[in-house]
Amino acid sequence: MKQLLLVFLGGGLGSVARFAVTKLVVYKQLNLIWGTLAVNVIGSLLIGLILGYTLKTTGLNQNTALLLATGFCGGFTTFSTFAYENQGLLRTGDYTTLLLYTIGSFVLGILAVFLGLWLVKSLS
């Protein structure tokens, strides 16, 4: 039960952080999809840092990793919004943005995880 509550708490905090980051990006006159891209790349970097640190040291226990990686990062990033925004781009025929956004999300997300893992490894 404790682990479920930790994931619940982390997910709620991650969702609020996602909302704040997206609003900040949209407030700066950027399209909503770039807010989603930002949170997905930041979340990928965070999970790389969190799990890299967890694997490298005994500094984070399983409960803390659940709170941060599964909960916070799971609530912070959003595949469902990504998928919805992609279908909107398809529907409007904005194929250039669709291509840039989709490929950029996958490539930058994966690179951000590698960067997080590398940072933890190299800074220790």
Mean predicted confidence (pLDDT) in 91-102: 95
- pLDDT-derived band at 12 (thresholds 50, 70, 90) equals very high
Binding site feature residues for Na(+): 74, 77
Category of 31 on φ-ψ map: left (φ > 0), alpha (ψ -120 to 50) or beta: beta
* Distances 73 to 41, 53, 88 between C-alpha atoms, Å: 11, 15, 25
Binding site feature residues: 74, 77
* Beta strands per DSSP E along the chain: none
User: Is the model's pLDDT at 59 over the cut of 80?
Assistant: no
pTM for the full model?
A: 0.79
Mean predicted confidence (pLDDT) in 14-36: 81
DSSP 60: S
Residue 76: closest CA among 46, 110, 115? 46
Mean pLDDT of the chain: 89
Per the structure, the count of domains in the chain is: 1
The predicted structure's pLDDT at residue 56: 84
- In this structure, are residues 16 and 76 in contact, taking their beta carbons and an 8 Å threshold? no
Structural domain range at position 68 = 2-123
